[in-house]
Each structure stands twice: as C-alpha cells, then as structure tokens.
Amino acid sequence: MATIYIDNTPFEVPTGKNLLETCLTLGQDVPYFCWHPAMGSIGACRQCAVKVYKDENDTNGKLFMSCMEQVRDGMRISIADPEAKEFRAHVIGWLMTNHPHDCAVCDEGGACHLQDMTVMTGHNYRNYTFDKRTYINQYLGPFLNHEMNRCIQCYRCVRYYKDYAGGKDLDVFAAHNHLYFGRAEDGVLESEFSGNLAEVCPTGVFTDKTLKQHYTRKWDLTMAASVCHHCSLGCNITAGERYGTLRNITNRYNGEVNGYFLCDRGRFGYEHVNSVSRIRKSLVRSNLPEATDKLTALQAAAQAMRQGSVIGIGSPRASLESNFMLKTLVGEDNFHHGVSDTEHDLTELSLKILRESNAPTPSMREVEKADAVFILGEDLTNTAPMLALAVRQAVRQEPLLEQVSKANIPVWQDAAVRELVQTEKGPLFIAAPTITKLDALATQTYFSDPDAIARLGFAVANIIYPKSPGVRGLKNDDMHLAQQIADALMKAKNPVVISGTSSGSEAILKAAANIANALIAKEKEAGIVLTLPASNSMSLAMLGGHRLQSAFEAVENGYADTVIILENDLYRQASEGAVTNFLKSCKKVIVLDYLHNQTTEHADVLLAAGAFSEADGTLINNEGRAQRFYQVHPTIEDIQESWRWLGELGTIVAHDQISWWHGYDDILSAIVKEHPEMKGIEMVTPPSDFRIAGQKIPRAPHRFSGRTAMRANINVSEPKPAEDPDSPLSYTMEGYRGQPPSAMIPFFWAPGWNSNQSVNKYQQEVGGHLKGGDPGIRLIEPNPEHKFSYSAAVPEKFEPMDGHLFILPMHHIFGSEELSAQAAAIQERIPEPYIAINTDDALRMKLDEGQLMPFAIDGNLYQLPVKLSPTIASGTAGLPVGLPGVKFAELPAWAILNRELQWKQQHQTTY
Amino acid sequence: MEKPLTQHIVPGRAPLSLKEYEKVGGYQSVRKILKKMTPQEVQALVKESDLKGRGGAGFNTGLKWSFVPMGPDTATPKYLVANADEMEPGTFKDRVLLEGNPHQLIEGMIVAAYAIQASISYVFLRWAYKVAAREITKAIQEAYDAGYLGQNILGSGFNLDMHLHTGVGRYMCGEETALLNALEGKRANPRAKPPFPQVSGLFGKPTIVNNVETLCCLPHIVNNGAEWFKGLGLTADAGTKLFGVSGRVKTPGCWELPMGTTIREILEDYAGGMQDGYLFRGLLPGGASTDFLVEEHLDLPMDYSSIQAAGSRMGTGTMIIMDDQTCPVGFTLNLQHFFAQESCGFCTPCREGLPWVEKILLAIDKGEGKPEHLLTLDFHTKYLGPGNTFCALAPGAMEPLQSALKYFREDFERHIHEHHCPWSKAKAWQPSI
C-alpha cells in the first residue's frame, strides 16, 4: 500500500497500479479515452492529465498523463489544478475540431463516453472555425455500423481488435490528422468478437447495426440483468426493451465470467426474440391448431394430462426452474432429457468429472491467468467463444509475468509490454480433429481423430502421474508430443486443461480428467474446464433424468401416451424418422416454446412460453455457476414463463406439491429441498420481497421518456405499470437510485457517466470484482478428500473402414446454436452446409472441392458439397452441426458412402 | 584548426575506399579497442570526453550507453543503430559525413557497438540520400571483406553485423523510438519512455541509437583521448561540430568548426554574410524545431548551454537565416505545414493542434486572420510543450512559432489589421490544406 495525496487529501492505495486507475477506483472523476481497464495504457489521447508535484514544497508542479504514471508512495497530485483542468478541456477542444457534433442523430448519443468526458472537462464553446476533414465509411458486415467522421483517434478499436482479440482485418491507416480506422477494403469483419467494438469505441464510430434497425436511446430502454443463452459459459448480459421489442444486448460486467466483452453470437443472437416465427398465442388443435386464450389452453392441457399417462421432456436451453417444474409435474421417473443420447451421456460424464475431480473448474478470469493450457477436442471459438478469448489472454500473459517484471516495466503499460514480449507466447497445446482459430497461438497443434486425441491425453496424464493408466502402441511422434505437453504443464504453476462435449467423445473427456487430476496429484494448482452443449445443460444434468431414447420407448411400449415437451425442437436432438414416429404415436403432445419449429407443428396444445427476456430463471453454466436472469419487460398476457405455465397446469390438475407453490421463491426452495447440492441458488439473488429503503430497483433509467405518451394513441389514460411478482425490480423508472446488489444491476449508470464506462463506479477496484462480489454462485467445488479414480478407458487406435467415413461433428459459432440461428444478423453469417473430408481421401474418391458427396448416416441420406481439409484425419469427415439444411445425425457416427464413390483404403501401414 | 571529422572529405571527390582510409589511419580505433580496451573502458573514455549527442538533444553519449545492461545475463542480441534519417528541415550535416566518408561512420559504429557489446547494427538512412545509400552499401561490404565486420572481428571474438535500412521519408523516424518501430516494420509512432531503448529497444532488446555525427567522433576520441577532444571546443562543450547555414547568405554551406564558434563568425566569415539587398532578421540556430534568435544573439557562441540560455536550442547546429524580404508569418506557416504533415497522429495535441495552427497561419497570411487567432496560437505554444504531448515533435514545432510570436508579433498583427500580407508580392508558395 502507498499513501498518495490528491488535492492535499491523503488516500491509501495499492501499489503497482497507474495513477488513472487508482483515481478512478477512489471514485475521482478523471476523464480518459485511450486507456481501457482490460487493455492498459498507451498514453495517446492525453486526456487524463493531472498535475504531479515533486514534494510538498513544489507549488508549480508539472502536467503528467495519469495513465502513464505509476503510483508512488508519498506522491502528490492535483486533479482540480486550474492548468490541468484547462489542458484537459483543450484536449476535448482538439478532439472536437473534426468531430461532426451530430449527437442528435448519432446512435451513441446518451450513452457516449465522448459526451460524458466533454461535459466533465467543461469544454463548451468551439472556437475552431475551419473546415472539418471527412471520411468515407465502410461496410463492415451485419453487426456493426461504421461512421469514421466521429472518430477521435483513441486507437482503442485496433488495440482491442488486433492486440486483445487477435483479429487481422482491422487496422489504422494513414498518418497525422488523416488517420483511418477500418479495414483495408469494405467487407465483413472476420473476428467472432467484433461486436465489442461498439462498446470499446468511446464514441459513435462503431455502433450496433442491429440496434439501428429498431433504435432506442439507452435512457429509453427498459433493462434488466440477464444471462446469455447461446452457449454454456453463461456470460452476463444486459438486455434492453422498448415497445415490446428487444432492442439490444450489451455487456454486463462480471469480473469472474465475461469481464468487459461478449462474443458476436451472444451480442447479436437476441433477435430471435423478435423473430417472425415467435409463438405469441397459445394454440389448441382441433383439426387445425387454433389460437386460443390462456385458460382454454391450460384446460386443454390439463384435460390431456388427466386422460393420459404423461411423460415430460426437458430442455438444455430452458431455465432450471422450468425443467424442475416439469420434472415435478410428470414425476421423476417420467422426466427425460430433451437431448440426444450422446449429449445426455457426455453431459452426465462431464458433471461426474467436475463432482469427483480433485481439480476445480476455473472461472474465465482464472483461465486468463493460466500459464499453460492444453485443449483436447474442442474448437473453442465455435463452441465456447469467450473461453477462446480467455485462452488468448492466458497465452499472452504467461511470458509477460516473468520478463516484464524483470525489465521493471509496469504490466499496465501496454505498448511497452507488447514491445518487450514481442511474439513470445505461453505454452498452449491444441489437439483437435481439424484446424481451429487458436492454432496460430499454439505451441503445438495435433490434428487427428477423437480416439487419437484421447490416447494422446491419456499418455500425457500417464507421463505426469504414472498411476494414471498408460497407452499402449503409441507412435513415437505422439509419445514425444505427449512428453512435451506433460513437461509444459508440469513447468507451469496454474495449468488448465480444457475439453468438452463437442467432439462427442467420452474418451477425450476422461483423458482430460486424468490429466487434470494427475497434475493435482503432483501438487499443481491445476484446473479443468469442460464446455457443455447448451446454456443450461448443466442444470439438466444436475436435475437428473432419463435419456430421450427411453421416452421414445415409453410411448412405443404403451407405458405413456402423452408428452409435455419443454422448449425443445426434438428434431435437433434425434433423427427425423424417430421423432416423427414418436410424436405421431403420442395421443396428445403438449409443447411449450417461443419459436415455431418442426416439433411445435405436431403440438396438440402449444403454450406460448416467454423467451429469455420475457422470463425469470436460473442458468447453471459449465463451471457450475448458478446465475439468475431477470425478465426484462412485461409481456402480453398470453406469454409467460414455462415454469409458470407448468405451475398453473400443476395447480389445475391438483398436483400435491405444485399446488402449494406461490411464486418464484417457492420454486427455488423446492429445488433446494430436492437437490441439496443446489443450495446456493437461493443466494444468487435477493428474494423477490427484497427492498432498499422500501423501494424496488428500477429497470428504466430516471430519464426514461414518453411513458405517458407511449399508449396515448390507444388510451390517453396511462395504465398502471405492470407489477413483477418474481423479483424486487420495478418495470418503471421509479425506485431506488443507488447501486443494487451486483447480481441484479439492471444497467450501468452513474452521475456524469452515461456510457457503459460507468461500470468503473460499480467495481471494488477498476477492472476487478463488482462491489458486493461478482454475480453467480458456484455449486460444484472439488472435494480434496475424495480419491479420484483414474479412467482406464483408453480407446483403441481408430481404424478407417472401407466404404465408410467416420463423421465428426463440426461446430459453428454462427449457425450451430438453435436460437441465435433465428436472428437476422447472425443468419447472414451462417456458412453453407458442407462435408469436410481429408484432401487425400478426396483424391482417392475423385472428389473435388464443392462437388456433391452422397452418403447415409443411420439410414438418413445426405448430399453435401465437399470441403477439402488437409488436417482432418483420413477416414473421418466433418459434418456441421445444426446448420440450416443439415439434418440431425447423432455424431460421431459411421457414414456409408454411395457405392459409386471408389473409396479404397490405403495400405494399413500408412495409418 | 583541427577538423577530425571532415579532414578526409573533399567536395566533388569520391569518398576514400577502405584501403585509402586505412592508409590515413582508418580503423586504428577498432584495432585499439579490440586489443587493448574493455567495453567498460570505452564507455568510460567516451563519457570522460563529454561527447554530446549531435542529433540535437545534446545528451552525454557515454552516459547514454551506461544504461545498457551489461554482463553475461543480459538480453541478447543487443543492437546499435545509427540514426542517419536526417529529416530536420535545413539540416544537411550528416549527409556530408555519409557521402564524404562512410568508413568513418562504420568505424565509429564498431566502437559504439563494442562499448555496449551489440552484435547487430543498422544504419537507418533517410530515403532521399541515394548517394549515401550507395556509398554505405559499398563501404559495409568492404568492411566485411576486410574482417572489420562479421564474426570474430580481427580475431578478437567480437561479432558485429551491419545492415543498411532506408526509410520511406518520415520526419518522425528521426525520433529514436519511432525509428525503432519503423525498423521493426511497424508504424513510425514513438514509444513511451520509460522503458528506454537501452532496456527495451529494437525488438524489445537493449538498443542504442546514436546520431551519425556523434558516431563519427568516436574513432578520433579513441585515437586521441578524451582530453584532446575536450580541448577542441572553444567553450565548455567538447569537440568540433559541423555547422551549416542556409538562407539568403552569400555562400551557404557546411563547415567543421570548434564547438563554441560564434554565430556571427559562422554567418559572416564562413557564409559570407547576407546577400546584397537583404538584411538579417532572424535565424533558427539548429533546424526547424528550434526557437528564433535575432540580431542581439549574433555574438553567442554556438554550443549547447549558450544557445539554451538564450531561449533556443543548438539542435543540429545548422542554421536557417530569415531575411527582411521574407514574411515571418509565411516562414512560420511553411514550417508548421511541415510539422502538421509529419505528425504521426498518435497523440491528440499534436495530431489536432498542428493542423489548427497551420490553418490559422494560412488564414493570417491570406489576410483573413482575426485577433483571437493569436490567442489560439498562444495556447498552442503553451500546451504543446514537452510532457503534454507524447513525443518531442509538437514541442519542437512550437519553438519557432512561440519565438516568432515573440520577436515578430507586430508582423502577425499587421497581417490581421491590414487584412493582407505586407510581403504579398514576394510570396511564391502557399501550402494547400
């Protein structure tokens, strides 16, 4: 700790930080642009100047950029010094010489860091009278709008895009006052994390293009804390609504999970909520499905329940509460997981590993600090994108730790740190079926079939800790690589092993678990991260339940004849024939969902469920962190949460437990009673009767406008605002104005800080944890007492088969996930279906890039254009999962090739 | 009068070949240091000689070297870079040395590289110096062939490689850290200091960047000693210096003279005084980024401390003379146009301030100036100072402006009040903005 004097007031502050972040942590208002807490300092904008005095006798002082000064004990500075203030106002004056002053028509207006800083410095009158320079803007794809004239040249965009996120196609061009930040030519920004530019940019150069299509000022949005539903990581988001339309997603800072950033799937996938295929009315089928009111629909469903033997099919994208409610309603024995059996087994295995491992699951913040990473079988950029971004930071910071401290350079001095470290990277090993975007960072990559990846993993574990079973018949090259990986992991202090379910291989998961536990056995502070298939796969696994196949069998065997399907398109979980057969065999099909799909077409009763922004609930992410998402805005009467539908249904059929539950909190209590492991979920957020000074927390900013006018075309009398029975949040601007508990922050705002940069005011220290702790409660912690039993399920070497290809699942950030694939902007980025095959195999089969290849998996016929891959193992092929136009197949699986393809296996020795 | 740096340079004649250079004592300093001196001794000798950086900053060269980490545990490779990116307007002294005697530079670079134990060296040459590029390329090859460069130089175990790098013509590259970025293939933006290049320079390794003239002094210091070098100067500053004069004088040129020679002597005895019909009004003593000096300063000795005391900087020591038939506003405008154009665009005050200054000067020059324009110019001279901007480019740009506003303010005011340039007939050039 050090003592510094700010305008003669002493403060105790931690050392090792720069003056700017220190002042901000102390709650002082120092304006800045180029500095970013996640990216450090470069000293470009000169906005954060303060006076620094040599000692207490120095009365003149000198201007210094606070972002470039290390805190020193006894340091005396002045923020209020007139010269410092005048200089800071001049900096705004300079920045504004060419700024178009178009706030009134700028999307950033009202949430603009440049506006905030301008007001903060007191620069009011413009005395630059000459012409402004102007630029031609670029087309950057469906996500971002480009308006270069507003640019204040702070370099944040390129530093984020290139240095932080590893993008290659955004740069700064030209010099002096003609600097241009953009692409070399018009075109779609390639990075999967490009959307963050809208938040990184302190003004309106990069703005959210999807918001533009239904634009609303930040102050007019009704907002709530939410959790991303588009992968298993559970990034925290703020969702905003106006006039019943979801308008945008912005980052909701969580120091342990997503920090300052989101991936593009998470940021732009929200438009599925506004999709034309939304179910806005419940339907009951007589001959044709007919829209009906709530009660009629409920009665029809209750009737079906009373008359049949009911089973329920849960969903990995529905909330814990909804799944639990369904499980309770149909009974534990009749609750099935609405996921493919492979997915069911892999998720269950993942949970088992997390429960029984001696290695904990690090949060993403902890992954960023890992000093060695081994990824097995996962293409993170496409399956858990933000984890890929975290790995990128881990690889970067490892060499930094050692060298930078040796050279006495503060870690926040970004440009100097990058200069010193150059291209050096920490150890990262990737074993995957084919190339991934992280390969460029990897120390070594290993492309092979899942069995080979697992074998490599088992070998690594065995080298680290001989009690972990070894692998017989491993090639010398592979053995050498295993040794190299083991050495790197053993050299590290905090190695992290990353794997997941996306490769469809149990052996890979088991190998990963062996490695992590072997490292723990060797007293390393190792961690294991397993990615899961969907946003709430973890909840489903923790609740327990039967496989989907057994649901099919139950109906086939006559054990059941009525099914309740919760938020699930079964056609994405099992083969078309099996699902159709199942649905047709059921006497009654009750479906709860919010988007029309193939399954809802078969519904006899279709209940209009609320999408994530219209519902309250809990998601449990891949690390076992339970997180609450709040309903953003009131819905029309016909739409409500699935758990509420099911609760009402339970009450109508007089279910002995459900009938007694009177609200959200009762459901949480019931879950905890049934599953003591989930005790933490009650602590995720305060209960719904929580109040601060008797007040609720407002979802709308105090500047929210037009409330009395919004419905005036219908009725000039303003209706009573909707009540939220499930949370301590109000739907209006009325309520407590201060900071609420961290898990329920509806939006970030502080006086003078209208942009998202106001998050500074919500953090214990800038860039650190939120005040009151980061949201989410971890439910699974390793038990050091437990003796981990190493898996001995080392697979045999993969053998290709004549006339067949072993089809592996390929995941795509845009397209593979069901909900985001319904968002218009994401749809523009979904790749065309393909089948990826090994280049040499293609040669032997006389197939060329783009040629159609017919094949069959499990009786389903496919015909897809060939994509040549030099890396995918011979005898295997990659089929994109979930893309529109690609039928479901339970992967990995053998495909039978059309006999006309002269597949001729090479002589065995080549394998 | 001793002229160690230019003794072998004859205008109009090709530079000495390696053989010829060796005949007149060339590369003796290399033999001496490799055989008889430790790197630390060379550093101490140069520090003792009080050789100040000839690029303009005037920092003690030996002291600059002493911040390079030495010893077996230090990062390698270390680099030595000759800053031959002579882009300062009005400056052409390094060109004389580069074109006239490239072996002297190479010899100096070997001495400097040995002193800091650098194993790779670069000559970062201004793009436009085509003749120098040709001569240096030839000289480097000769030095390699003779064993002065490469592995195990003269059997000493010391290795040094040397490369010529030609820039693309940015003023910014004269700034040592921007030069290093350019050398790495990055944008020629300056870097924050600390860390200094001595610790983290080229490719993040310890690096020294020295000016050409500084490096050329080294062989002579090694051969003749520190005391001899100190004795060359007439005042407190050591050595000789290449002084230059441009402008409407009778014989503009470049001469090697003792440090501390007065401005008047240089101007009248060497440059032949003003051309007939022109009167002296002021001068920039060391390139475009130094403050104006006027009549009253003519008897000042040209050395670092005297010129600094008069409110300017000796800079590169090559003066630009302003005569009475040149409009001071137009003169300053020309300079500011250069600086605004050469700003790298990294920091706000420089990127946005300099074009604003230029536009105001253009407006004043065209007779469209307003009294408040002078206030805007004043705040720029106040706030574009060292420390407020990221590097020294904008503060350098402000030096001629602030002194022009001080010494020629009435000329600025006349432009504004009379709504035209009093020198307008003589005007030939205006920048297009």
Residue A667 located in a structural domain = yes
Q: What is the mean pLDDT of chain A?
A: 95
Residue A252 located in a structural domain = no
Question: Would an 8 Å CB–CB cutoff place A47 in contact with chain B?
Answer: yes
Q: Is the pLDDT of residue A222 over 70?
A: yes
Residue linked to tokens 């059996």? A341
Q: CATH number, domain at A479?
A: 3.40.228.10
A753 and A883 inside one domain? no
The string of pLDDT tens digits covering residues B4-37 is 999 999 998 999 999 999 999 999 999 999 999 9
Mutate to test the interface with B, among A33, A81, A90, A92 (most CBs of B within 10 A): A90
Q: Is the pLDDT of residue A302 over 70?
A: yes
Report chain B residues whose CB lies below 8 A from the CB of A86. Answer: 383
C-beta of residue A600 within 8 angstroms of C-beta of residue A613: no
Closest listed residue to residue B389, CA positions, set B429, B335, B339, B424: B339
Report chain B residues whose CB lies below 8 A from the CB of A152. Answer: 348
Between CA B146 and CA B153, with CA B152 as vertex, the angle to 5 degrees is 40
A835 and A690 inside one domain? no
The string of pLDDT tens digits covering residues A780-798 is 998 878 889 999 999 999 9
What is the distance between the alpha carbons of residues A490 and A524, in angstroms, rounded to a whole number? Answer: 7
Least confidently predicted of A709-718, B162-171, B309-318: A709-718
Residue linked to tokens 């310890």? B206
Q: Is the pLDDT of residue A716 over 70?
A: yes
Q: CATH number, domain at A607?
A: 3.40.50.740
Number of cross-chain residue pairs from A and B with Cβ atoms under 8 Å apart: 107
A398 and A449 inside one domain? yes
Q: Per the CB < 8 Å rule, is B192 touching A413?
A: yes
The string of pLDDT tens digits covering residues B326-352 is 999 999 999 999 999 999 999 999 999
The string of pLDDT tens digits covering residues A312-322 is 999 999 999 99
Angle, helices B393-407 vs B371-383, to 10°: value is: 140
Q: How many residues does chain A have?
A: 911
Question: Would an 8 Å CB–CB cutoff place A162 in contact with chain B?
Answer: no
**Measured between CA atoms, how close is B344 to chain A, in angstroms?**
5
Q: CB-CB: which of A42, A153, A408 is closest to B351?
A: A153
Residue A223 located in a structural domain = no
How does residue B426 score in pLDDT terms, banded at 50, 70 and 90? low
What is the distance between the alpha carbons of residues A637 and A280, in angstroms, rounded to a whole number? Answer: 10
C-beta of residue A181 within 8 angstroms of C-beta of residue A157: yes
**What is the structure's pLDDT at A904?**
54
A900 and A849 inside one domain? yes
How does residue B427 score in pLDDT terms, banded at 50, 70 and 90? low
**What is the structure's pLDDT at A836?**
97
Q: Per the CB < 8 Å rule, is A176 touching B390?
A: no
Report chain B residues whose CB lies below 8 A from the CB of A52. Answer: none
User: Which 344-403 residues of chain B touch chain A by CB within 8 A?
Assistant: 344-349, 351-356, 359, 363, 372, 376, 379, 383, 387-390
Least confidently predicted of A222-226, A711-715, A755-759: A711-715
Q: CB-CB: which of A44, A98, A174 is closest to B346?
A: A44
Report chain B residues whose CB lies below 8 A from the CB of A153. Answer: 345, 348, 351
A555 and A691 inside one domain? yes
| CB atoms near residue B377 (< 10 Å) | 24
CA-nearest residue to A65 within chain B is B388
**Measured between CA atoms, how close is B237 to chain A, in angstroms?**
30
Q: How many residues does chain B have?
A: 433
Between B159 and B169, name the one with better pLDDT. Answer: B159
- Give the residue from A480, A507, A533 where a domain finishes: A533
Q: CB-CB: which of A62, A86, A155 is closest to B387?
A: A62
A678 and A741 inside one domain? yes
**What is the structure's pLDDT at A711?**
87
For A40, counting Cβ atoms within 10 Å of its Cβ (0-12 exposed, 13-18 middle, 19+ buried), the class is: buried
> pLDDT above 70 covers what percent of chain B?
98
Question: Residue A23 is encoded by which pair of tokens?
Answer: 């002042």
Report chain B residues whose CB lies below 8 A from the CB of A419. Answer: 191, 195, 200, 204
> pLDDT above 90 covers what percent of chain A?
92
A360 and A298 inside one domain? no
The CA distances from residue A96 to A90, A150, B340, B395, B398, in Å, are 9, 9, 17, 21, 21
A7 and A59 inside one domain? yes
C-beta of residue B347 within 8 angstroms of C-beta of residue B378: no
Decide: pTM greater than 0.90.
yes
Residue A777 located in a structural domain = no
**What is the structure's pLDDT at A403?**
78
C-beta of residue A842 within 8 angstroms of C-beta of residue A874: no
User: Which 97-136 residues of chain B touch chain A by CB within 8 A?
Assistant: none
C-beta of residue B292 within 8 angstroms of C-beta of residue B282: yes
Residue A392 located in a structural domain = yes
Q: Per the CB < 8 Å rule, is A87 touching B341?
A: no
To the nearest 10°, the Cα dihedral for B98, B102, B108, B109?
90
**Measured between CA atoms, how close is B200 to chain A, in angstroms?**
6
The set of residues, in sequence order, having a beta carbon less than 8 Å from that of A843 and lying 6+ positions away, is none
How does residue B358 score in pLDDT terms, banded at 50, 70 and 90? very high
How does residue A902 score in pLDDT terms, banded at 50, 70 and 90? low
Mutate to test the interface with A, among B67, B175, B200 (most CBs of A within 10 A): B200
Q: Per the CB < 8 Å rule, is B347 touching A43?
A: yes
The set of residues, in sequence order, having a beta carbon less than 8 Å from that of A551 and lying 6+ positions away, is A311, A313, A336, A560, A563, A582
The string of pLDDT tens digits covering residues B363-403 is 999 999 999 999 999 999 999 999 999 999 999 999 999 99
Report chain A residues whose CB lies below 8 A from the CB of B388. Answer: 46, 49, 63, 87
Question: Residue A199 is encoded by which pair of tokens?
Answer: 């938040």
The string of pLDDT tens digits covering residues A819-867 is 999 999 999 999 999 999 999 999 999 999 999 999 999 989 999 999 9
C-beta of residue B5 within 8 angstroms of C-beta of residue B217: yes
Q: Is the pLDDT of residue A74 over 50?
A: yes
A389 and A466 inside one domain? yes
**DSSP calls for A577-642:** HHHHHHHHH-SEEEEEESB--TTGGG-SEEEEB--GGG--EEEE-TTSEEEEE---S---TT-B-H
Domain count, chain A: 4
What burial letters (b/e) apply to A770-788, b meaning 16+ CB within 10 Å? beeebbbbbbbebeeeeeb
Q: Is the pLDDT of residue A909 over 50?
A: no
Q: CB-CB: which of A94, A415, A421 is closest to B348?
A: A94
Residue A50 located in a structural domain = yes
Q: CB-CB: which of B199, B347, B356 is closest to A407?
A: B199
Q: Is the pLDDT of residue A908 over 50?
A: no
Question: Residue B307 is encoded by which pair of tokens?
Answer: 């010129």
Q: CATH number, domain at A853?
A: 2.40.40.20
The string of pLDDT tens digits covering residues A396-410 is 988 877 778 788 889
The set of residues, in sequence order, having a beta carbon less than 8 Å from that of A561 and lying 6+ positions away, is A308, A309, A555, A585, A586, A587, A588
- Give the residue from A95, A112, A130 where a domain finishes: A95
Question: Would an 8 Å CB–CB cutoff place B182 in contact with chain A?
Answer: no
How does residue A87 score in pLDDT terms, banded at 50, 70 and 90? very high
Q: Is the pLDDT of residue B429 over 70?
A: no
C-beta of residue A670 within 8 angstroms of C-beta of residue A703: no
Closest listed residue to residue B293, CA positions, set B315, B313, B269: B313
Q: Per the CB < 8 Å rule, is B344 touching A176?
A: yes
Residue A306, classed as helix, strand or coil, is helix
Q: Per the CB < 8 Å rule, is B345 touching A155?
A: no
User: Which 245-304 residues of chain B touch chain A by CB within 8 A?
Assistant: none
**A407 φ, ψ to 5°?**
-85, 0
The set of residues, in sequence order, having a beta carbon less than 8 Å from that of B76 and lying 6+ positions away, is B119, B205
A667 and A746 inside one domain? yes
Question: Residue A42 is encoded by which pair of tokens?
Answer: 């470069």
Q: Is the pLDDT of residue A879 over 90?
A: yes
Residue A625 located in a structural domain = yes
Domain containing A663 equals 282-339+539-711+726-762
Q: CATH number, domain at A31?
A: 3.10.20.740
What average pLDDT does range A715-727 have in this prediction?
92
The CA distances from residue B330 to A715, B60, B359, B404, in Å, are 69, 36, 12, 11
Report chain B residues whose CB lies below 8 A from the CB of A132. Answer: none
Residue A695, classed as helix, strand or coil, is strand
- Give the residue from A95, A122, A140 where a domain finishes: A95
The string of pLDDT tens digits covering residues A260-301 is 999 999 999 999 999 999 999 999 998 777 899 999 999 999
Report chain B residues whose CB lies below 8 A from the CB of A415. Answer: 191-192
The string of pLDDT tens digits covering residues A22-32 is 999 999 999 99
| CB atoms near residue A692 (< 10 Å) | 16
**Measured between CA atoms, how close is A12 to chain B, in angstroms?**
26
**Measured between CA atoms, how close is B177 to chain A, in angstroms?**
11
A611 and A753 inside one domain? yes
Q: Per the CB < 8 Å rule, is B345 touching A153?
A: yes
Mutate to test the interface with A, among B179, B187, B198, B348 (most CBs of A within 10 A): B348
Report chain A residues whose CB lies below 8 A from the CB of B179. Answer: none
Q: CB-CB: which of A176, A178, A420 is closest to B204?
A: A420
A376 and A495 inside one domain? yes
Q: Per the CB < 8 Å rule, is B352 touching A46?
A: no
Question: Would an 8 Å CB–CB cutoff place B67 in contact with chain A?
Answer: no
Question: Would an 8 Å CB–CB cutoff place A155 in contact with chain B?
Answer: yes
Residues paired with A498 in a beta bridge: A375, A529
Residue A205 located in a structural domain = no
How does residue B430 score in pLDDT terms, banded at 50, 70 and 90? low
